Structure 1
C-alpha cells in the first residue's frame, strides 16, 4: 500500500487532505543571509507559526515545504511549529539551483558548489537517499520529496550533475520528485535528460509553470505525464492573476486537470501577514484565491469546486505517494 512521508511519520494518501504543493515556512537561505537580504529570510519561528495557524484555520491540512539544504532548510523548527499547529509537512531532500551554491554550507568549510563538484555521483546519491530513508541532518525527520533545479534558460554542468543525482535517488527510494525551473524555463530540456536516465515522468512535478504561461509549453510537459505546479499566486508583478487561471483552464480543456498542483511559493517576509510587512499571508490561496477561481471556472463552463478538489486533494494525494523503491 502506498504512503506519503511527512515529518511526523508516514500517512495514507487519504489522510493528506487539503494541500499546498509548493511553499516554505521557516528558512534562512545562506546565499541571501550573506547578502543581508532580510526579505528572503523567514527567520521568526513565532511569525511563521502564526502563518501556519492561519493556514489551518482557512481549511489547510498539509503542505510541501520545498526548502532544500541550499535554501536554508531548518527541519527541527519546522517540525516543532507544524506539530503544534497540527499541519502535516512534507520535507525536501536534494538541491535547488546553481546560483545559490556559491555560499558556504552551514557547518562546513566548503561551498555547496565545491561539495557537489568534488563528490562522486554515487556519494551524492547516497546522501540524498539517506535523508529520505534515515533522517535529515542526523535527525529523526525524514524527507518525503527529492528535488533538483536549473537556472534561467540554461543548465549548468553542476546542475546537470544534480539532475542525475536526484533521478537516481528517486528510483532508489520511490519518492516523488520536484524540479525547480527558473521563471518556468528549461522544463523540456530537463525532460530530455530525465528520459535519458529512465525516469518515470509521472513521479515528477515541474515548479513555476505560471511564471511562463505558455499553453503550448504546458501541453508538451503534460504530455510527458508529469505534474505542473502553479505556485506563483499573488505575484502580480509577473502578470495579472487571470493569466494564471487561463493557463490552468487551458490544460483542463484538454483533460489534464489530474496533473495540476497549486501552491504559493511563500518565501518572503513581505508575503507574510505576520512578519510586520502587511502581506497577504499563507491563508490567501484558500481564503481569497479559491472563491475567485471557482467563479472564473464556472464562467468558462467548468465545475470549479470539482477542479479544486483535484488540485488541492486528489492530485497531491496521488503525486506525493511513494512508488516502488527501497524506501
Structure 2
C-alpha cells in the first residue's frame, strides 16, 4: 500500500476529507490532560471539571474565527481520554484528531521498561488499526513523542524509533515534543533513519528555541517547524516568536511552519483568566498581519500547512 498521502483525516468523529476543512487548524493542543506529578493539580485538564469551559472556548472560536480542527496530542501516559474528546468535538462542532505514542521519559508508562522497538511498534500499530481500548476511536496522528536535552535518552530513542516505524506502517504523520525546543535535529535524524519521510514529521516547541539556523535546517529537510506554544509568555515572549517565525518565512520556509498554543493546564483557560486556545487568533495573528502577512499567508500557516502535514502529502501532491 502506498502511504505517501491520505486525503481523509481520521478524527474522533470518523473520517474527514481534507477538502472539508475550510477554516483554521490548531496544530498542537490538549483538551483532556493529566501531567500532574506534583500533586497540585495545575497541569491538568480534567473532563469532570474543565470540559465545559474547553467546549465553550472551542465553540466560540468556531463561530468567531471558523476554527475547524484541533490536533489533540495527548498520548499514552498523559491522561488521554478519547471518549471525552469525542463528546467535546461533537458539542463544540469542531473536529478533533486524537493521538497515540508516548511523551518524554518522565512520563513513560511501565510498558516501556525493557521493551524493544518491535514490541512498542506493535502496541502503536494495534491502537491505530483497531482503536483505543474499547472506544473504537482510532488515532489520526502519532504524538507528541518526546525527548528532553540535546539527544534523546535510550528509552526516548526507543519510543521515537517505534513511532517512526508505526508511522511508516500505517501512513500517519508524527509530531514530537522537543523539551524547551532542544534536540529537534537529533529527533529528526533518528526518525528519518527509520525511513520516515521528513515531510511527515513535525518538530515541536521550536518557538522556545531562539536559533533560526536550527529552524532553517529542520525546514530545509522537509519537516515541519512547530511554533506551538504561542502565548506562553512565561517560557518565551510572543515578540521573540514573531521574530523567529518571520525569519523562517523570509528564508523561504513559510510552507513548513505550524502554529498552536499548546494549552496544557487549566490555568491557561480563558474562564480562569488565561490566554486560552484563541490567543493565536486574537493576538498573535494580528501581530503577524501587522508585520506584513496577508490572508493567503495566514491560510497557509493555519490551514494548508497542518492539513498537508496530517495527510502526509508531499509538495508534489499539493
- Tell me the TM-score normalized by structure 1: 0.88
Q: Secondary structure of the residue that 1:137 maps to in structure 2?
A: coil
Deviations 1:147-201 (A, max 9, x none): 2210133411110100110010000001011111001111111222123222211
Matches within 5 A, 1:143-222: 143-147=139-143, 148-222=145-219
Matched, 1:294 2:300: no
- Find runs of 4+ consecutive structure 1 residues off by over 6 angstroms: none
Deviations 1:245-286 (A, max 9, x none): 111111111211111110000111111112xx2112212211
Per mean C-alpha deviation after superposition, the further-off stretch among 41-50 and 208-217 is: 41-50
Q: 1:254 aligns with which of 240, 251, 254?
A: 251
Q: Is the 8 A contact 1:28 1:74 kept in 2?
A: no
Deviations 1:57-115 (A, max 9, x none): 332111100101111111111111111111100111111100112xxxxxxxxxx1x31
Deviation at 1:323, TM superposition (A): 6.2
The residue number in structure 2 matching 1:140 is: 136
Matched, 1:117 2:108: no
Deviation at 1:28, TM superposition (A): 2.3
The residue number in structure 1 matching 2:3 is: none
The residue number in structure 1 matching 2:302 is: 312
Q: CA RMSD in A?
A: 1.7
CA distance in 1, matches of 2:223, 2:116: 28
Q: 1:9 aligns with which of 14, 38, 57?
A: 14
CA distance in 2, matches of 1:241, 1:72: 28
User: Structure 2: 5+ residue runs without aligned partners?
Assistant: 1-5
CA distance in 1, matches of 2:102, 2:39: 22
Matches within 5 A, 1:88-99: 88-99=95-106
CA distance in 2, matches of 1:132, 1:58: 33
The residue number in structure 2 matching 1:106 is: none
Per mean C-alpha deviation after superposition, the further-off stretch among 163-172 and 284-293 is: 284-293
Q: Secondary structure of the residue that 1:205 maps to in structure 2?
A: strand
Q: Is the 8 A contact 1:174 1:323 kept in 2?
A: no
Deviations 1:226-253 (A, max 9, x none): 0011011112223321211111111111
The residue number in structure 2 matching 1:81 is: 88
Q: Secondary structure of the residue that 2:33 maps to in structure 1?
A: coil
The residue number in structure 2 matching 1:108 is: none
Q: Is the 8 A contact 1:4 1:322 kept in 2?
A: no
Q: Is the 8 A contact 1:129 1:173 kept in 2?
A: yes
Q: Secondary structure of the residue that 1:320 maps to in structure 2?
A: helix
User: Structure 1: 5+ residue runs without aligned partners?
Assistant: 102-111
Is the alpha carbon distance of 1:181 and 1:208 closer, same or farther for their aligned partners in structure 2, counting shifts above 3 Å? same
Deviation at 1:120, TM superposition (A): 3.8
Q: Secondary structure of the residue that 1:58 maps to in structure 2?
A: helix
Q: 1:280 aligns with which of 275, 278, 286?
A: 275
Q: 2:30 aligns with which of 24, 27, 49?
A: 24
